[in-house]
Structure 1
Amino acid sequence: MTDSVPAPPVRGLYRKMGIAAAIVAGGVLASRMLGLVRQIVFAWLLGAGATGDEYFVAFLLPDLLNYLLAGAYMAITLIPILTRRFTAGDEEDAWRAFWAITRPLAIGITVLVVVAMPFVEPILRLVEPGFTDAQVANAARLTRIVLPAQIFFILGQLLTAVQFAKERFVIPTLGPLIYNIAIIVGGLIGGLGREHPSADGFAWGVLVGAVIGIFGLQAWGAWRAGLRLPKGSIRRHPSVRRYFALAIPLMLGQSLVVFDEQLGRTFGSLIENGGVSWLTFGRQTMLVPVGVIAQAAGVATYPFLARLFAEGRHREMSRAVVRALKYVVLFSLAATAGLMALSIPVVRMLYERGSFDVTDTIATAGTVVFFALGIPLWGIQQILARGFYAREQMWAPVLVGTLSTAAAVPIYWALYRSMGVDGLALASTLSILLYTVALAILWYGRTGWEYAAPVALAAMRALPVAALAGFASWGAAEWVLSRFSMNGFGPAVVAVAVGGVVLLVLVAAPPWPRRDLSA
């Protein structure tokens, strides 16, 4: 068994991938930080009770509509189609393909939004059996505010794909920042100075942020990247058939990645008031390192993988996947150790103020521990799935995801019955483990198991280092907290800072992680 795959003659490409990953990681980090600020403001104004549950459930139907059109995968589906035309030097046909694909999708999402409006309350009653009539009514009102935002999310995804296919990453990273800022401002306007704050301001912020940041800014960015109105007819363009041939599997497949959060919401609604909110806050906390590490690597790597495949450089593509996976595994193991070790002070620092009390902190921190175990898995599946998508083999991850989702339901049910809210967080991690293992077996069965060896060896070398660093970080944080006579924001900040420094020093000390990243 070898420790590394022979070095490819594409160092320039790897350098571009690294720069793109750094840009996306910076944008994702800023977006996640603003997302945490958004959650902090929400927790401060509304807490983790029934009002919070109503707001989070209001995204159920909008997310479903987005899913029905494979909104989360639109850029993934469109990039290979555009890349093939850019690689062939036919930019004019690329723009005809873009507009030919955009037209039916824009019509489709608009029709779905209009048709869905009268059915909001019946759907919420069906999928949230633990909600009272008043909670259903409030959640329905919020749903009708955020539902039209899906039109702008769909169009924004397509405009973002143009920029990614042109290997431009800066403006797409700014959209989520504006989106989060709009939600924060909306929440403050709707909640400050009111005896009983509502979630309406946050919901209106979602709509405004989608219009400005997700659609408006991306339209400008795509135009700067070269997008122009088509010359000639776009009717019956062959790219439309190809797009839907790639997208239909994603529309039909019940992906665990998409449904994981909804499974938590559904079972969480059966727990006491606050269950959905505890899971949401815990999951959002876990997704910060996932976004910075895995999402950045996946988003930045994908256009280059699609280009390598379009050029027929399949071995180089497999090596690029190895490089991305090693990066994700090494950094995400450290993130897992740190988040597990510092779960209570992290949650206290972020959320414990206003209506979010110490009981909410303990409950949310418990979910963070179990969610954090899945950070490396979320990262690995993002890279592997994009490898399949770059090869235009959409059915493979979809079939695996559909089977994994079916297997996840009894896991959620069993752990909900035995462990409550912590069990639902653990169920999420076990389900993503099942999905990731199945996806890896399928990937390496097609590309060659020799590409698995470098990733596995890098993980085995990094795991004991991360575990030791995590225990040391936990001990340092506990020592800091024991120096204070009371709990609160200040002690939590100091504990997180000291524990984080200890973690970083110990993780960075051994030389082999750096060798693994450069190999």
Structure 2
Amino acid sequence: MGLLSAKQRMGAAALILAASTIVSRLMGLVRDKVISWQFGAGGEADMYFAAFVVPDIINYMLAGGFMSITIIPLLSRRFQEDEDDAWKFFSCVFCWMGTASLALTLAGMLAAEPLARLIAPGFTPEQWLRLAFFMRIVLPAQIFFLCGACITALLFMRRQFRVPALAPIIYNGGIILGGLTLPWLAGLPLVQNALPASILKHLEGMTGYCVGVTFGAAIGTFILPLMVALQDGMRLRAVWRHPLMGKFLVTALPLMLGQTIMMLDEQFLRVFGSLVGDGAVSLLNYARRITQVPVGLMGQAAAVASYPFLVKLLTDGDREGFDRTLRTALRASLGLIIPCALAMTACAGPILGVIFQGGRFGPAETLAATPLTQIMLAATPFWIIYMVLVRAYYAHGDTITPAVTGTIMTVVCLPIYYYWAVPHGAWAIAALSGLSVSLYVLWLMALWARRQGQGAFAGLCGLALRATGCSLPGTAAAWWLSAYTLSRAADLGLHALWAALLALALGGCAFLLLFLPLCLWLAPSIMEPVLRKLRRT
């Protein structure tokens, strides 16, 4: 009965987080659609995307994205032993996180102009000034992200998933709201009469989206979780020393110091994309957004929700159950992502046409972004494996191996990006991004197999080959049919959006009609999780 309850709680947590991920990813696409419609690829959009490089690195340096991994095991045990002391430990972590994030944010704001030249060496002096302005607006969001990560970890520990699930939705909503309302407010006669022209000029363009980033982070990731935690009895006080801080730092430092290729992948696209030419940063960003949607939908929610339960299996000494759970998660994720990635590769042009084309993002931008998207989609199976496998490492208390190997891969790739990828253009940057991620994940898999055995990977290669084989006929048909539909759109008198929708629908149907029978015949285990859920409904 206890095991059944744990499974039910894990399923409910995964369902809540999955729903949040779906909505937030869709809102992220809406956000990028609005940006691409208004600003296309290049100019303001390049500077906006580049403005996140330094804030994201600050987040990585303080391990904000891994706060639940580092603090939950220590905090859970301390609450079982001494609740009052547990609150002291939590307060100590919160105080230091707030202080460190505030110090780094202020330093980044003061050094915004030289940092702008460093992270976007291909921009012009005028663009550096605009980029520095954007960075100063976006940087304070990290204070809310990092302090909010402490509170969110507390909520996760107490199995309160609903409020953290709202955070990305509110964050994306804040960006869209800021981007649409600030220019409107700046255009009101009352505001124009009250403010000088020099200030009004700064409110144009994408300034509203930058304001929305900080506003959305403040509300969604900090204020709302803080209110819920306070109502639930959170006791926060000024504490600067605690015996457990040493253990916390031992766990967190590898994540703070190890700037892995997975963390910096998006930043490399922005930094080295600025050296390729106007619009490359935006095109690479739009392509990456598309490729990360299936990764987030299929891997993120399950990985985050499963981590506390993987820890419990190890704590209970159930090694066989741990391997079985990890193997099931890897097989289910990989079996779904491979056909999804191949189908999206075949229909990449129509997908970009439906989501982004319009306004200042014209057919030329869609054509330029299509091969970048297809190249990046090749690495999505490795992203899925990483999201599941890295939490298995963390469940074992091993944060050093992923950090050290990922940092080595980063150091190796830096000169290749600069001396090979940049001269060859945006496609080479996209290709190196996917190759470096794939090699890093294969390295992690090899290390895991050597240390923990190959039980978690049993049958994984065969499943991947069967999924690929079942998907190839549908991929070829979808590719030809979608391309043919787009080529005949002008003859049929179809608007670009309707042509893309028709091409996407026909290509998707062709893929499914060929893939599903082959899959049910040659690889029924891929569809089993889906069929099981359909039977329950």
- Tell me the residue number matched to 1:207: 214
2:146 is paired with a residue whose SS is helix
Give CA deviations for 1:220-265 in whole Å, capped at 9, x if unaligned.
34346x452069x955323222111111111111211111111111
Given candidates 26, 30, 46, the residue that maps to 1:37 is 30
- In the alignment, is the contact (CA less than 8 A) between 1:84 and 1:310 conserved in 2? no
- Tell me the residue number matched to 2:98: 106
- In the alignment, is the contact (CA less than 8 A) between 1:46 and 1:197 conserved in 2? no
Question: What is the letter of the counterpart of residue 205 of structure 2?
Answer: S
- Tell me the CA shift for residue 451 of structure 1: 2.3
- Tell me the residue number matched to 1:472: 477
Q: Relative to 1, partners in 2 of residues 1:12 and 1:502: Cα closer, same or farther, differing over 3 Å?
A: farther
- Tell me the residue number matched to 1:291: 296
Given candidates 78, 82, 87, the residue that maps to 1:95 is 87
- In the alignment, is the contact (CA less than 8 A) between 2:70 and 2:248 conserved in 1? yes
- In the alignment, is the contact (CA less than 8 A) between 1:318 and 1:447 conserved in 2? no
Question: What is the letter of the counterpart of residue 151 of structure 1?
Answer: I
- Tell me the residue number matched to 2:535: none
- Tell me the CA shift for residue 374 of structure 1: 0.9
> Could you tell me the percent identity over the aligned residues?
36
Question: What is the letter of the counterpart of residue 339 of structure 2?
Answer: A
Moved more, 66-75 or 362-371: 66-75
1:238 is paired with a residue whose SS is coil
Give CA deviations for 1:251-296 in whole Å, capped at 9, x if unaligned.
1112111111111112111112101011011111111111111112
- In the alignment, is the contact (CA less than 8 A) between 2:307 and 2:395 conserved in 1? yes
Report how many residues are paired: 508
- Tell me the residue number matched to 1:135: 127
Alignment of 1:275 onto 2:267: no
Question: What is the letter of the counterpart of residue 499 of structure 2?
Answer: P
Which is bigger in relative contact order (C-alpha 8 A, separation at least 6)? 1
Q: Distance in 1 between matches of 2:512 and 2:146?
A: 39
Q: Distance in 2 between matches of 1:463 and 1:91?
A: 52
Q: Distance in 2 between matches of 1:212 and 1:115?
A: 24
Alignment of 1:515 onto 2:525: yes
Give CA deviations for 1:320-376 in whole Å, capped at 9, x if unaligned.
211111121011112211221111111111111111121111111121001111111
- Tell me the CA shift for residue 191 of structure 1: 4.2
1:404 is paired with a residue whose SS is helix
- In the alignment, is the contact (CA less than 8 A) between 2:349 and 2:366 conserved in 1? yes
Question: What is the letter of the counterpart of residue 497 of structure 1?
Answer: A
- Tell me the residue number matched to 1:185: 177
Moved more, 190-199 or 158-167: 190-199
Given candidates 501, 513, 516, the residue that maps to 2:509 is 501
Query: Larger Rg: 1 or 2?
Result: 2
Give CA deviations for 1:117-141 in whole Å, capped at 9, x if unaligned.
2211011112321111100000000
Alignment of 1:488 onto 2:493: no
Q: Relative to 1, partners in 2 of residues 1:498 and 1:10: Cα closer, same or farther, differing over 3 Å?
A: farther
Q: Relative to 1, partners in 2 of residues 1:84 and 1:448: Cα closer, same or farther, differing over 3 Å?
A: farther
- Tell me the residue number matched to 1:5: none
- Tell me the CA shift for residue 23 of structure 1: 2.2
Q: Distance in 1 between matches of 2:204 and 2:419?
A: 36
- Tell me the CA shift for residue 497 of structure 1: 2.6
- Tell me the residue number matched to 1:463: 468
Give CA deviations for 1:174-211 in whole Å, capped at 9, x if unaligned.
11001101111111123469799501000000011001
Moved more, 237-246 or 265-274: 237-246
Alignment of 1:157 onto 2:163: no
Q: Relative to 1, partners in 2 of residues 1:91 and 1:440: Cα closer, same or farther, differing over 3 Å?
A: farther
Question: What is the letter of the counterpart of residue 39 of structure 1?
Answer: D
Aligned CA-pair RMSD: 2.4
Alignment of 1:228 onto 2:228: no
Question: TM-score normalized by structure 1?
Answer: 0.92
- In the alignment, is the contact (CA less than 8 A) between 2:276 and 2:423 conserved in 1? no
Q: Relative to 1, partners in 2 of residues 1:277 and 1:119: Cα closer, same or farther, differing over 3 Å?
A: same
Q: Relative to 1, partners in 2 of residues 1:453 and 1:442: Cα closer, same or farther, differing over 3 Å?
A: same
- Tell me the CA shift for residue 56 of structure 1: 1.0
- Tell me the residue number matched to 2:312: 307
Q: Distance in 1 between matches of 2:233 and 2:453?
A: 38
- Tell me the CA shift for residue 85 of structure 1: 3.9
Give CA deviations for 1:411-461 in whole Å, capped at 9, x if unaligned.
423552564111111111000011100111111222211321132232222
- Tell me the CA shift for residue 508 of structure 1: 3.8
Q: Distance in 1 between matches of 2:12 and 2:461?
A: 25
Alignment of 1:144 onto 2:136: yes
Alignment of 1:23 onto 2:16: yes
- Tell me the CA shift for residue 314 of structure 1: 3.1
- Tell me the residue number matched to 1:3: none
- Tell me the CA shift for residue 79 of structure 1: 2.1
Question: What is the letter of the counterpart of residue 173 of structure 2?
Answer: I
1:392 is paired with a residue whose SS is coil
- Tell me the residue number matched to 1:6: none
- Tell me the CA shift for residue 476 of structure 1: 3.3
- In the alignment, is the contact (CA less than 8 A) between 1:53 and 1:274 conserved in 2? yes
Question: What is the letter of the counterpart of residue 323 of structure 2?
Answer: S
Q: Relative to 1, partners in 2 of residues 1:89 and 1:471: Cα closer, same or farther, differing over 3 Å?
A: farther
- In the alignment, is the contact (CA less than 8 A) between 1:106 and 1:155 conserved in 2? yes
Given candidates 387, 398, 406, the residue that maps to 2:392 is 387
- Tell me the CA shift for residue 92 of structure 1: 4.6
Q: Relative to 1, partners in 2 of residues 1:56 and 1:336: Cα closer, same or farther, differing over 3 Å?
A: same
Q: Distance in 2 between matches of 1:308 and 1:450?
A: 16
Q: Relative to 1, partners in 2 of residues 1:309 and 1:90: Cα closer, same or farther, differing over 3 Å?
A: farther
- Tell me the residue number matched to 2:194: none
- Tell me the CA shift for residue 157 of structure 1: 1.3
Q: Relative to 1, partners in 2 of residues 1:301 and 1:490: Cα closer, same or farther, differing over 3 Å?
A: same
Q: Relative to 1, partners in 2 of residues 1:503 and 1:27: Cα closer, same or farther, differing over 3 Å?
A: farther
Q: Distance in 1 between matches of 2:389 and 2:367?
A: 35
- Tell me the residue number matched to 2:191: none
Given candidates 254, 258, 263, the residue that maps to 2:259 is 254
- In the alignment, is the contact (CA less than 8 A) between 1:374 and 1:432 conserved in 2? yes
Q: Distance in 2 between matches of 1:227 and 1:400?
A: 41
